[in-house]
Structure 1
Amino acid sequence: MRDVNLFNFKRALPRMSWNPKNLYNLWRRSLGAKVSTTDYTRTTKTLFQQRWAAKQLVRAYHGDYINEKTFKRWYLPANLPDVRPTASVRDDSLLLTKWANKTSAVEKEIKRREEEASKGLAPVGSLMFSEVERRIDVVIFRSCLAHSVYEARRMVVHGNVLLNGQKHQNANTRLAPGDMVTVDPKAINFLQPRAMETDPDEGADADTHPSKDVSSAIVKSADGSTSGHTPFHLPNYAAPFIFIPTYLEVSFPTCSTVYLRHPTARPGYSEVPTPYDADGEVVRLAWEWYAKVRPRMRSKRQLARMPENRQ
């Protein structure tokens, strides 16, 4: 991985990780000193600088290990609509209906428009990362079966993951609705005895997977007796990161998850997890940045190099 120093406090870029350092960086961006850097109401930065900074923030969390050129070509939606609120315009059809003395129809249309205005726009800007959320390594992390997306990627590459019952070692695969991903319990770090645990984010290329069979692990209880249950040692400060998106169905007894459908968004809610406001200024500015560099038509030669997309 290019960036080894993931949790640099100076940059404070939130990542897909349960690491306590990442929690501190997330706090700094949400409530600490770094909040002011994303407040663009009063800033001396140009619009270009604002969009660049917003793009850097969202990309640090959403697939920072994906090359920028690869992200724009294969993971960025081909169509990026405008997410900025539009000014209301005078509707001549409504005036004609009112002139025709169709009062009930006019009142009904006005009420419908008021309801739409109260709901606001759907945070579609966050959906530019929906293709990243389909990646098999991201799905494993979202299912709380790995400490970080980097550990989930190593699980796939090292052959510890099954896709629909078959070993799968391509971490770039994008899942299709109905796909089932199963992780070998021996590769899940927090299911191992505590003495064998290591920091999953210390060194991106290090193999931190214990090799001991957890099915035969013996756990001592408080009264000195033993049981054959699998040990479970949740990392410190992991609680803020433990959530499962609605488009996943996870079975922890079998260490598997089913990708139900693609993430969606509706007014006031987005299914794409992000450390920033899904309809906030950071996501909108990043959307505007990528709207300038949206992918062009892809040739057959380029399509042949596309990462596996199961549709």
Structure 2
Amino acid sequence: MRDANIYNFRRALPRMSWDPRNLYNLWRRSLGPLVREAQWKDTSLTVFQQRWISKRLVRAYHGDYINEKIFKRWYLPATLPDVRPREGRSNSQNSVMLLGKWAKKDAVVDAVSKKQEEEDGKGLAPVGSLMFSEIERRIDVVIFRACMAHSVYEARRMVVHGQVLLNGKKHTNANTRMAPGDMVTVDPSAIRFLQESAAPKTVSELNDESSAESEEEGSPRPSVSAAVRKASDLTPFHPPPYSAPFMFVPAYIEVSFATCSAIYLRHPTARPGYSEIPTPYHADGEVVRLAWEWYSRVRPRIRSKRQMARMPENRR
């Protein structure tokens, strides 16, 4: 293994994992004593050193198992989408305000003006965090984001070992980038969040067991509806208790824990004051900004047909 001690307390680099040691490192970087290491208001470090430290922090969480050369060549977007708010009010907003003034509906005009002021106050969207949008499309990251694996490393092993279906077909390439509408299904026996001791049973087997118990106790046989309700609770979802305050599912993934499947709805986006890229750092903070400045100097070269043949599968 390239990096066996990924939860090292001395480095304290947060990873995509629900391991207690990783959550402790996450606390140290977010609220603990290591917060000031990523604050450069009064520092003697050069700009180059600040950018390198920021790149090291964000890459430890976003795809640390991906080689840096491969990341810059295939996973780093050449350009970022322009998600900045347009200058001035849009035509629809102007029309609403004009109609409101003509109809003497001051409440409508005030509401539109207040919304526009709030959007202007939020400023630009945190586009720097979108440099990891290609990482979020990976099938192993989607499985982890869907809370079906304890870590992205475990999700990667699930894919490699053939325990994952992509659109109903067995898929073993963990480097695949999913397209909107793709569905990934995980074998329930491979999900540690599910109760392993409860073996799946049919409704008829439950009826046989309940009838045997009723004959022994002399009680009447339970109804089929009760057996169906019992059958629907055979594989409950049991996340670790220490992950309850932090566990979430991003808005661009639709998860069905009953069928152990997830649908990748769309690509993550950003808007003023909000980014859909899950990250332990502020989406528009100094760490992400300096990391983007580090990578903004890297421009993808013209790729030959030989290099394009080695590109990780991208389903668009």
Report the Cα distance in structure 2 between the residues aligned to 1:291 and 1:141, rounded to whole angstroms: 28
Aligned pairs for 1:131-170 (under 5 A) are 131-170=134-173
Please state whether the residue corresponding to 1:182 is helix, strand or coil.
strand
Q: Indicate how the Cα distance of structure 1 residues 232 and 113 shifts in structure 2: closer, same or farther if over 3 A, else same.
A: closer
Please state whether the residue corresponding to 1:14 is helix, strand or coil.
coil
**Cα deviations across residues 1-30 of structure 1 (Å, max 9, x unaligned)?**
311101111111000000011111010001
TM-score calculated relative to the size of structure 1: 0.78
Report the Cα distance in structure 1 between the residues aligned to 2:135 and 2:271, rounded to whole angstroms: 19
* Correspondence for 1:215 among 178, 197, 200: 200
CA contact (8 A) 1:80 1:294 kept: no
Cα deviation for residue 112 of structure 1 reads 11
Could you tell me which runs of 5 or more consecutive residues in structure 2 were left unpaired when the two chains were aligned: 84-113, 206-226
CA contact (8 A) 1:186 1:192 kept: no
The equivalent residue for 1:102 is none
The equivalent residue for 2:55 is 55
Aligned pairs for 1:19-58 (under 5 A) are 19-58=19-58
CA contact (8 A) 1:128 1:287 kept: yes
Aligned pairs for 1:69-218 (under 5 A) are 69-80=69-80, 117-193=120-196, 214-216=199-201
Cα deviation for residue 127 of structure 1 reads 0.3
Compare 289-298 and 181-190 and name the one that shifted more: 289-298
Q: Indicate how the Cα distance of structure 1 residues 112 and 214 shifts in structure 2: closer, same or farther if over 3 A, else same.
A: closer
Structure 1 residue 258 corresponds to structure 2 residue 302: no
Please state whether the residue corresponding to 1:257 is helix, strand or coil.
strand
CA contact (8 A) 1:80 1:291 kept: no
Cα deviation for residue 259 of structure 1 reads 0.3
Q: Indicate how the Cα distance of structure 1 residues 18 and 112 shifts in structure 2: closer, same or farther if over 3 A, else same.
A: closer
CA contact (8 A) 1:76 1:294 kept: no
Please state whether the residue corresponding to 1:162 is helix, strand or coil.
strand
Cα deviation for residue 187 of structure 1 reads 0.6
Q: Indicate how the Cα distance of structure 1 residues 134 and 120 shifts in structure 2: closer, same or farther if over 3 A, else same.
A: same
Q: Indicate how the Cα distance of structure 1 residues 7 and 112 shifts in structure 2: closer, same or farther if over 3 A, else same.
A: closer
Flag the structure with larger Rg.
Answer: 2
**Cα deviations across residues 102-140 of structure 1 (Å, max 9, x unaligned)?**
xxxxxxxxx999666412110000000000000000000
CA contact (8 A) 1:264 1:271 kept: yes
The equivalent residue for 1:104 is none
The equivalent residue for 1:238 is 243
Compare 229-238 and 11-20 and name the one that shifted more: 229-238
Compare 283-292 and 1-10 and name the one that shifted more: 1-10
Cα deviation for residue 238 of structure 1 reads 1.6
The equivalent residue for 1:93 is none
Q: Indicate how the Cα distance of structure 1 residues 162 and 81 shifts in structure 2: closer, same or farther if over 3 A, else same.
A: closer
Could you tell me which runs of 5 or more consecutive residues in structure 1 were left unpaired when the two chains were aligned: 84-110, 195-212, 219-225
Please state whether the residue corresponding to 1:25 is helix, strand or coil.
helix
CA contact (8 A) 2:54 2:290 kept: yes
Cα deviation for residue 232 of structure 1 reads 4.1
Cα deviation for residue 81 of structure 1 reads 8.1
* Correspondence for 1:298 among 303, 312, 315: 303
Q: For 1:277, give the aligned amino acid.
A: H
Identity %: 75
Aligned residues: 263
Please state whether the residue corresponding to 2:245 is helix, strand or coil.
helix
Please state whether the residue corresponding to 1:122 is helix, strand or coil.
coil
**Cα deviations across residues 185-240 of structure 1 (Å, max 9, x unaligned)?**
0110121437xxxxxxxxxxxxxxxxxx842499xxxxxxx965225432241213
CA contact (8 A) 1:159 1:167 kept: yes
TM-score calculated relative to the size of structure 2: 0.77
**Cα deviations across residues 64-110 of structure 1 (Å, max 9, x unaligned)?**
00000000000000125899xxxxxxxxxxxxxxxxxxxxxxxxxxx
Compare 26-35 and 112-121 and name the one that shifted more: 112-121
Instruction: State the superposition RMSD in angstroms.
Output: 2.8
Report the Cα distance in structure 2 between the residues aligned to 1:161 and 1:244, rounded to whole angstroms: 19
Q: Indicate how the Cα distance of structure 1 residues 29 and 152 shifts in structure 2: closer, same or farther if over 3 A, else same.
A: same
CA contact (8 A) 1:123 1:265 kept: yes
CA contact (8 A) 2:250 2:278 kept: yes
The equivalent residue for 1:210 is none
Report the Cα distance in structure 1 between the residues aligned to 2:6 and 2:120, rounded to whole angstroms: 41
Cα deviation for residue 252 of structure 1 reads 0.5
Report the Cα distance in structure 2 between the residues aligned to 1:274 and 1:298, rounded to whole angstroms: 30
Report the Cα distance in structure 2 between the residues aligned to 1:256 and 1:151, rounded to whole angstroms: 16
User: Which structure has the highest helix share of the two?
Assistant: 2
Please state whether the residue corresponding to 1:240 is helix, strand or coil.
coil
